[in-house]
Structure 1
Amino acid sequence: MTTAVLGAGISGLSAAYYLLRRFGKPLTIYEASPRVGGWIRTECHKDKGFYFEGGAHTIRPQGVAGANTLELVEQLKLEVKPIAKTHVAARNRLLYAKGKLCMLPNSIGGLLGVKEPFTQPLYKALLHDLRAAVTKVKDADESIYSFVERRFGKELADYAISPMICGICAGDAREISVRFLMEELFEKEQKYGGVLKGVLYARFKAKTDAQLGMGIFAEQQPQLYAKACAEKWAMYGLEGGLEQLPRALRSYLAEQRINVQLSSRAQSLSFDSAGANISLRNAEQPAGHVISSLPAHQLALLVRAQHPSLAAQLLAIPYVDVIVINLQYNSDKLLQLDGFGLLVPPVEQLPILGIIFDSCCFDMSGNTVLTVMMGGRWFANWFAHQPSQKELRDIAQRYVAKILNISEEPKFSRVHTLQKCIPQYTVGHKRRVESIRNYIANYKLPLSVCGAAFDGVGINDVILSARRQVDLLPPQSA
């Protein structure tokens, strides 16, 4: 019987890729929209030498997850555009705080002096961690803000960690789980009595742990990963933009005659002793096993009739809306400071989350290209009145002018409102995910779940999530 994959975003396509490699056919992918790629979307303007990214902009090569993606990129023969750690986009990270642009420290020396927006040298925050008592946390989880404030002080929580969480998941650090996003640091503090103590004590285990993680690779580390390590890449893009990755996966699957049904939204999903049954608009499709890469709230609607308790657990994972505004200017001399971009701490109470300097990261043929991110956890605060695309563009341009002193009109722009695009890993999220997967296991449902809601928000995370769920399947499941 056919294995079915729900969703043709990057996690669903990756699941199909790994299913094909492990089990072969038959295999079918059902995607509700008329395209593959999910939130990864690249708009190329080859005649003018620039492109817009509507979702993720770069990929990091670090760790097992980074190595896994590089192996996939290598197998698909995609051309990478590396950014070395010495590149200005890797070294320079900016904040807009207290009415001015501030450069975050990018060296050990930067910890010694006072750098705005901080009012004391950052080494004092490290001393705070060494002196602070350990608090045994109830239910073994707390918010990232609470954790950082306890260990390093309020300033670091407000002006370093909170904007970083905006950049990762457009979320509020006061709500996001430290156990999910910073589990290693949290466990080191709980075990060794401090973050720095734990890092120093565990440093000799790091190499062994990393080698154990690399066991997912059959023979050796991917060659492209070895190259990234040797050349000290901080991040990378793809020639033609990141949408080349889902497009290449789709092409590979098509070559293997894998059925990718676009504009095929599942209406419900039920299970019986024979497997699963997917209700589509005009058909009922049986499947031996289903891998869902759908957002948790979408999967909840499919299973709620037969499994209301599972649906309730899935709906307990909140999502946020993000507005992405791409702006292009016919000059590459507009930015006064180069870098990856800037983040805005939530304490500033502004409608924008940050601005990415795309044309600092990659060559845009004499253009300045910026991406303004707005909304996220604070979407309802600023945009509940459903402003028009022009109003949203005007807001973005107003803050580009205010923060970056770019007052001229962009020559080209694009506005996207991405509804329920990023899951929020609120306190208790790890236990929530374990409960969902335990429910599936206890009821012996022929169902696997992968993707951003369960295993992390980045491209690396969702691809590795798909691979690990496929690896957990017994041979008879496919």
Structure 2
Amino acid sequence: MARAVVLGGGISGLSSAFYALQEGVPAKFAKVTLLEASERFGGWLHSNKYKDGTVFDYGPRSFRPQGNLNTIDLALKLGLRDDIIIAKKGDILDNRYIYSDMTLHELNIGVNKLFKVIPPMKKRLISYILQDIRAAKGKEDESVHSFVSRRYGTDAADFLANPMLRGIYAGDVKKLSIRSTLSILYEMEQRKGRTLTTKYPKSPSVHKALEDYVKDWSIWSLRAGCQQLSDALVEYLSRPDMPTELHQNTPCRKLTFKDGAAVVTTDEGETTADHVFSSIYSGDLAKILPDEHGELAEELRGIPAVSVIVVNLEYPVESPVKGFGHLLPSSEDGPVLGVVYNSCVFPEQDRHKANGKISRFTVMLGGEWYDDLLERLDGSLNPNGIARLAIDVISDQLNITEKPLKVDVIIQNDCIPQYLVGHGERLERIFKYIKDKKLPLSLVGSSYKGVSVNDCIYNSKLAAERLTGLPPYIAPDIPQKHFVR
């Protein structure tokens, strides 16, 4: 009777357990045990719904359907159709801003703007297109800043790529890998010699009917927040007819391999598994591997992660700016990454009978600039001090001076892995080691091939489907897209 153990009860671990038990998986398991170290399942999918109906998300707050339909397919399979909320294309979600020089600049880029300067950019839009056409092909991998500067110009790197990657990775574009973070641009350059095109390679979809179902969507979420997706997975896996065991407050203390099997050690004892899906942060996996696999552990430790402080606020006023939100280049205010205009995006998550007179915002702080944030807070992570900083951000950048009705602060430690230059080569070494040593181990989760929820769920599905009796191996060149957080 084949048995699998899943390490980590976040969205990647829960998805791995779900897909490992689906029909059509070649090595379908008779039993799956999931071990979560903390007191709750869901990982970074963490939502709070107040009695008055207000919903705050502490991690991801929306999903994109375009590019990968697997997440919406999963939500429908879990019976969440009636709880899906959407923002359609062409709505105010198209309004996105960069806050630079103490001013909000709308990123309205289109064909009709070709011969205009769009602040905070310094040149006419056509200039960047011409530079991309003339640019020579670059090296195997380089930083996002280097790539964008070479193909479009320094100000494009500083005022477009810089804030965008801070919004996705909370990271520094001068360190992040173009190949591993913006792989579509990297692949287009390698194949076509240019990157600006209207024809990008299509990503895998579930079926045509589902494509039609979401064709008008910009982004989507769930009425009770993104955690509703992980909650539905927990409910499904906890059914009496499911061959699963879900354990909270049960960290894996040691992971060893013997005679083609894996031995998982917890405080309660040892469990022998035919296969292990590890969805925990790579650095944490490195800590539980034995000395004999020190080479693998060293590679896993080489994937750093940054911490982000998320502050959710609710105000008794209508948002003065309509749109998805705004991001800041690091030159503007390093520790302040950006602000999401939640009520503009999903008014369904406002308090009951808000009637447009309520605005929810999320202020994102820290990331690669976490130490700078600590210095600004005088070395203290007191929630009151963090709240005051976030309130100042809303006041200064959106001109809202009213006192907030709610302020909710959460610190997310090591929440976003950083794909530094050379990350792709590191993955090749990691997965080659697993293949060569014939380890019954699949690596899933945000440490490897995408930090978005879409990436995590899709890679968990691929990992389950690849178990054909041969040692699992995830090809390092699978293209991935990254989506709204």
- Same fold? TM cut 0.5: yes
Task: Name structure 2 gaps, 5 residues minimum.
Answer: 473-485
Cα distance between partner residues in 2 of 1:438 and 1:328: 49
Cα distance between partner residues in 2 of 1:378 and 1:313: 24
Aligned residue pairs, count: 453
Q: Deviations over 1:388-420 (max 9, x none)?
A: 111111111111111111122211111111110
Q: Deviations over 1:65-109 (max 9, x none)?
A: x211111011011121111111102x1001110111111114322
Q: 2:369 aligns with which of 359, 371, 378?
A: 378
CA RMSD in angstroms, aligned pairs only: 1.8
Q: How does 1:180-191 map to 2 (within 5 A)?
A: 180-191=180-191
SS of the residue 1:377 aligns to: helix
Q: 1:441 corresponds to which letter in structure 2?
A: K
Cα distance between partner residues in 1 of 2:34 and 2:423: 28
Contact 2:260 2:438 in 1 (8 A): no
Cα distance between partner residues in 1 of 2:364 and 2:184: 29
Alignment of 1:62 onto 2:53? no
Cα distance between partner residues in 1 of 2:138 and 2:223: 48
Cα distance between partner residues in 1 of 2:470 and 2:432: 20
Contact 2:311 2:407 in 1 (8 A): yes
Q: In structure 2, what is the equivalent of residue 171 of structure 1? A: 171
Alignment of 1:156 onto 2:156? yes
Q: Deviations over 1:117-161 (max 9, x none)?
A: 1222222111111223x1441xx1001111010010011110011
Q: In structure 1, what is the equivalent of residue 202 of structure 2? A: 210
Q: 1:387 aligns with which of 376, 381, 387?
A: 381
Contact 2:255 2:289 in 1 (8 A): yes
Q: In structure 1, what is the equivalent of residue 477 of structure 2? A: none
Q: Deviations over 1:216-241 (max 9, x none)?
A: x5xx34x4442102xx2111111211
Cα distance between partner residues in 2 of 1:108 and 1:36: 46
Q: Which protein has the bigger helix share?
A: 1
Task: Name structure 1 gaps, 5 residues minimum.
Answer: none
Q: How does 1:410-449 map to 2 (within 5 A)?
A: 410-449=404-443
Contact 1:92 1:106 in 2 (8 A): no
Q: In structure 2, what is the equivalent of residue 84 of structure 1? A: 88
Alignment of 1:323 onto 2:315? no
Alignment of 1:72 onto 2:74? yes
Identity of aligned residues (%): 34
Q: In structure 2, what is the equivalent of residue 265 of structure 1? A: 251
Cα distance between partner residues in 2 of 1:195 and 1:121: 18
Q: How does 1:221-232 map to 2 (within 5 A)?
A: 221=208, 223-229=209-215, 232=216
Q: 2:363 corresponds to which letter in structure 1?
A: V
Q: In structure 2, what is the equivalent of residue 48 of structure 1? A: 52
Q: How does 1:244-259 map to 2 (within 5 A)?
A: 244-255=228-239, 256-259=242-245
Cα distance between partner residues in 2 of 1:423 and 1:178: 15
Q: In structure 2, what is the equivalent of residue 110 of structure 1? A: 113
Alignment of 1:238 onto 2:238? no
SS of the residue 1:276 aligns to: strand
Alignment of 1:95 onto 2:98? yes
Contact 1:162 1:172 in 2 (8 A): yes
Q: Deviations over 1:15-56 (max 9, x none)?
A: 0000011315211000001111001111001x4232100000
Cα distance between partner residues in 2 of 1:257 and 1:188: 44
Normalising by the residue count of structure 1, what TM-score does the alignment of the two structures yield? 0.91
SS of the residue 2:76 aligns to: helix
SS of the residue 1:452 aligns to: coil
